[in-house]
Amino acid sequence: GESVGLHLPTLSVQEGDNSIINCAYSNSASDYFIWYKQESGKGPQFIIDIRSNMDKRQGQRVTVLLNKTVKHLSLQIAATQPGDSAVYFCAETKNDYKLSFGAGTTVTVRA
Amino acid sequence: DAGVTQSPTHLIKTRGQQVTLRCSPISGHKSVSWYQQVLGQGPQFIFQYYEKEERGRGNFPDRFSARQFPNYSSELNVNALLLGDSALYLCASSLGSESKAFFGQGTRLTVV
């Protein structure tokens, strides 16, 4: 069945360093991917999205890379800040209305 | 601009009771989706409504139902509550039925 998984459940990063969060997806028919950030006690916050006809998209301090050959998605955060500490989810869909989420990666930023 | 708003923020119910959760989408958004997030896991899709019609349903029992009103707000109803229904219930709105979704802060439901 469809599933979206993250390579590592936790990531510890030094403040100021770059972070890379990885995600593997299994449904080759998926055509739209979103990264969300969820802080404790809050709902998921949209970070960046990418469609399957692209392999890279950049936002403010974030970059999403999509490798359809190996069904891999990554989120890069430049100059990680304490406010970046949260759980990060990748979500995928093949019809744009039902999002399938992985279990998430907890990012902890060390001062 | 107001984001997605959900009410109540917290709720405690007893097994067997019924609960209604409410969601107001971002102004101009016509689609509302509901997700259940159990502690330590990613959100699981329950329903999507677009233009007041159900567009999709996840793998949840018939105890879960929802509707969307003419102003595009939505309610999620859960009957005959079980302990396992304890979770964070998230509402997401999007402009159309096929566009990026923005989430509310969720309703934390505890069933005792």
Radius of gyration of the CA atoms of chain B, in A: 13
Count of beta carbons in the 10 Å neighbourhood of residue A14 = 11
Asked if B42 lies within 8 A of A96 by C-beta distance, the reply is no
Q: Is the dihedral of CA B22, B32, B84, B87 positive or negative?
A: negative
Question: Could you read off the pLDDT tens digit of each residue along chain A, which spans 111 residues?
Answer: 334 655 679 999 999 999 999 999 878 899 999 999 999 989 999 999 999 999 999 999 999 999 999 999 999 999 999 999 999 999 999 876 789 998 899 999 999
| Average pLDDT per consecutive 10 residues, chain B (112 residues; last block may be shorter) | 91 98 96 95 94 93 97 97 98 85 96 98
| Letter string b/e over residues B52-81, b meaning 16 or more CB atoms within 10 A of that residue's CB | eeebebbebeeebbbebeeebbbbbebeeb
Q: Which of B41, B90, B98 sits opposite A96 (nearest CB)?
A: B98
| B32 burial type by CB count under 10 A (0-12 exposed, 13-18 middle, 19+ buried) | buried
Q: What pLDDT score was predicted for residue B1?
A: 58
Mean model confidence pLDDT for chain B: 95
What residues in chain B have their Cβ under 8 A from chain A's Cβ atoms? 4, 31, 33, 35, 40-45, 48, 50, 55-56, 58, 90, 92, 97-106
Q: What pLDDT score was predicted for residue A96?
A: 66
Q: What pLDDT score was predicted for residue A8?
A: 74
